Amino acid sequence: MSSPQREVEPVSDDEKIADGGTNGSSGAQLPDEAFVEGFQRTAPVTRESFGKASIQIIIATGLFMGALYFYWNHVQVQEQVRDLASQAKDAMMRDNPADLAKAQTLLDEALGLDSGHKYVVATKALINARLYQEYGIESAKAVANDFSGQAEKKDVQKQERYGAKGILMVAEGKYAEAETYLVDIVNQGGRGASIFEGLGLAQRYQGKLGDARKSLRAAAESEWRNPRYNAYTAEIYLQDNELTNAKSFVKKTLDANPNHILGLLLESRVNIARDDDVKKAKDNLDDVLARPEGELNPYLLAYAKATLAEFHIYNREYQKAVTAAEEALAAAPKLPVAHFAKGVALANMGNATALPALQTAYENYPYAPRAYHLAALALLEQNRAEEALQIMELWGKNVAKSANYHVAYGNILLKKGDEHIEEATKHFQDAIKADPEAREAYLRIGMIHQKAARGMKDEEERKKEYDKAIDAYNTAVGIKEQYAEVYEAMGWLYSEQGHFNEALPLFAKALTFFKNDRVERDKLNKIREDVGEALKKDKKFKRYYQPWMDESKALIR
């Protein structure tokens, strides 16, 4: 295989010159010296009649004019092809279904003028490979394979040829083969957005999330106007539960095209996950779902429905979430985000079918740490610790054991009982080793020390455990200032020691931050009442009961 060229533009300036030798300054072939010498040795020309000479001149002139016209026509056709190819490229850069349909039309028109144009043939293969791989459009598969074969037969030295072939391999589930093929192209000097796109997708579907992000970032650097590469990168960060990076790449996506449909849906998903500007998330959803049929294809409609399911989960509308996820799966039966949303919603409902639904989701796409985390926490909340442990076993088997993994596992062990505290503590410590800013791990370690302090009779030993708890809590709020759970835990720590002057402001902060986090009112009222009961039992601070109940009610109103 010859080494792929580095250019990305449809046609270079050099291609405006017809193929052939370039010995002369004009690009025409210079005459052979032997031919010139032989011509000089020929016999003298005999006289011909004026009429015969005139006929020959007319014929020669006609031939010359015909050749000139043919050349001029060829140049004009190639100009039209280049213009159509350039328009198609611009349409592809916007990367919405309607834009890709327009690009297809322009490419077909170009092929009608020149069916063998190398860039157009390769680009036709690429656009259909994308339609088949990303959107599952079956009719695009045959077209992609046809033009990919043509590009290979013509030995087209364009990045679109190699990207199309790699993306087709990904669509067929040949992930390792696609990675090997495209790495070899890169090692030969191949560069171009579609090459790195195919490589990133191949790595993603093997669970090599870090490598996939690097490849897709390289694609974005090569073709920064195309939003698809940053959208893919944002989605990988989201599924890896790295929400700050996900938000950053969503912004880059929408900077390239503010109307990019996948980008708008990803912005919704990230905002919901971060509990950040959820109104914007809903506005995006309403916008996308209201679009006419020509602007959406079945895949993007399904993705929008799955995002709607996540919005319903955020609002604790679990049956609505299941319905939306099922509507998504009816249009795109293998869509991972829809499977995950359905499973997590069922887990939050305490539904017996939650675990089978989640197992189906992970079989379909096993490399989404956030999906494991949310499902395990939901099952844990429903007192189904054994099923949560099964989810954790799948997570540890399929994905690298991150801080989130260890925190989730530790929580499940704590839920199972005091006999698992030592093992749980080790998981929280492993979480901090994996990520020094694993704030929930510090919260849990603080709670373990606080619980230990309660059971100690020796005053000095009890104080040491309380101090260890305070240190862990302070570290947690240093990482996340508005951390409601920590302030509640610290409030109980001080109240247990009879220091209600310190405890009550901490409880007030906890209620405020819980309210900001949209925690259910029943939980807020329970905290208020529990603190009130503790005040009633304390002779010194009993008089604070009514002021606390009045002021805390105003806090959560």
**DSSP assignment of 224-260, as one string?**
TT-THHHHHHHHHHHHTT-HHHHHHHHHHHHHH-TT-
Classify 1 as helix, strand or coil: coil
In this prediction, residue 102 carries a pLDDT of 96
Percentage helix, strand, coil for the chain under 3-state DSSP, each rounded to 5: 75, 0, 25
Query: Which residues does 218 contact at the CB level (< 8 Å), separation at least 6?
Result: 196
* Cα–chain center distance at 139: 25
327: which 2 tokens? Answer: 């509507």
**Contact indicator for 306, 328 with CB cutoff of 8 Å:** yes
Distances (CA, A) of 438 to 166, 246, 248, 342, 510: 38, 18, 20, 28, 20
Is the four-CA dihedral 481, 483, 484, 486 of positive or negative sign? negative
Contact 368, 336 (CB under 8 A): yes
Provide the residue type at 528 as one letter. Answer: R
In the structure, how many helices (H) and strands (E) does the chain have? 27, 0
Separation between Cα atoms, residue 117 and residue 131, nearest integer Å: 21
Nearest alpha carbon to residue 344 among 354, 356, 332: 354
Q: What is the pLDDT of residue 45?
A: 46
Work out whether the CA dihedral 227, 228, 232, 233 comes out positive or negative. negative
What pLDDT shows up at residue 427? 96
CA distances from 188 to 221, 503, 520 (A): 19, 66, 58
In order along its 557 residues, the chain shows pLDDT tens digits of 444 443 333 333 333 323 333 333 333 333 344 333 333 434 444 455 556 666 666 666 665 565 555 555 557 888 999 999 999 999 999 999 999 999 999 999 999 999 999 999 999 999 999 999 999 999 999 999 999 999 999 999 999 999 999 999 999 999 999 999 999 999 999 889 999 999 999 999 999 999 999 999 999 999 999 999 999 999 999 998 889 899 999 999 999 999 999 999 999 999 999 988 999 999 999 999 999 988 999 999 999 999 999 999 999 999 999 999 999 999 999 999 999 999 999 999 999 999 999 999 999 999 999 999 899 989 988 988 889 989 999 999 998 888 989 998 999 899 888 899 999 999 999 999 999 999 999 999 999 999 999 989 899 999 999 999 999 999 999 998 899 999 999 999 999 999 999 999 999 999 999 988 778 788 899 999 999 999 999 988 999 999 999 999 998 88
Query: Quick one: three-class SS letters along 442-474?
Result: HHHHHHHHHHHHHCCCCHHHHHHHHHHHHHHHH
* Distance of alpha carbon 326 from alpha carbon 401, whole angstroms: 30
Instruction: Give dist(CA 453, CA 482) in Å, integer.
Output: 26
Provide the H-helix boundaries in 188-335.
Answer: 193-204, 209-222, 228-239, 243-256, 261-274, 278-289, 298-314, 318-331
Q: How far apart are CA 469 and CA 429, in angstroms?
A: 14
| DSSP labels, 169-191 | HHHTT-HHHHHHHHHHHHHTT--
277: tokens are 């500007």
249, two tokens: 């790449």
